[in-house]
Amino acid sequence: MSGVTIRIQEADFDIAREIALLTGGRSDIGAVVSFSGICRGSDGEGVAALTLEHYPGMAEAEIRRHVEEAQSRWPLNGVTVIHRVGRIEPGKNIVLVLTASVHRQAAFHAAEFLMDYLKTSAPFWKQEESASGTNWVEAQAHDDAAAARWTKS
């Protein structure tokens, strides 16, 4: 898969640098859509941190499979998916999805498709840490509904 970067890492990432790596020296890209997910800290009592775990090897393969599906649905010239694992504090980056295409509509749709997958079905587990302790985060019905719109009938 040329023009595709998939990384799962503990370290933070630089969004501008990742866009430059995706687009540098390319004249076949007319649009880049970026989505960055950031750890929020004010959910009622306040989240002190998130800890994200994944299934190494399987997580990358599943993300790659969904990137391939996005490429089969839309004319993409590049995709970057970076997902962090480990302990992440409020205000810090969690995930980055970049999609590049000749035209913006394909890039927007592909970015939404990939984020809906990452939010609902990717093999990551999230634990919230707050003043009252820790708990595993359950799937949300509104996220499942957003992802369902991409199902082919």
Concatenated DSSP letters for 47-115?
Answer: EEEEEEEE-TTHHHHHHHHHHHHHHHHS-EEEEEEEEE-EEE-TTSEEEEEEEEESSHHHHHHHHHHHH
Q: pTM higher than 0.85, yes or no? A: yes
* DSSP H helix total and E strand total for the chain: 4, 8
What does the pLDDT look like over 14-62, one tens digit per residue?
Answer: 999 999 999 999 999 999 999 999 998 765 567 889 999 998 899 999 9
Strand partners, 126: 52
Task: Return all residues near 65 (Cβ < 8 A) that are at least 6 apart.
Answer: none
Q: What is the model's pLDDT at position 48?
A: 85
Would you say 136 and 124 are in contact if contact means Cβ atoms under 8 Å apart? no
Spatial contact of 136 and 72, defined as CB atoms under 8 Å apart: no
pLDDT at 122: 85
Mean pLDDT of 77-96: 96
pLDDT at 2 (0 to 100): 67
Question: Residue 145: pLDDT band by 50, 70, 90 thresholds?
Answer: low
Would you state the pLDDT for residue 121?
82
Averaged pLDDT for residues 121-131:
86
CATH number of 4-132: 3.90.1170.40
User: Tell me, what amino acid is at 18?
Assistant: E
Q: How far apart are CA 62 and CA 117, in angstroms?
A: 10
The tokens for 136 are 């595993």
User: Could you give the CA distance from residue 6 to residue 4 in angstroms, rounded to a whole number?
Assistant: 7
Residue, of 15 and 143, whose pLDDT is higher: 15
Question: What letter does residue 37 receive in the DSSP assignment?
Answer: E
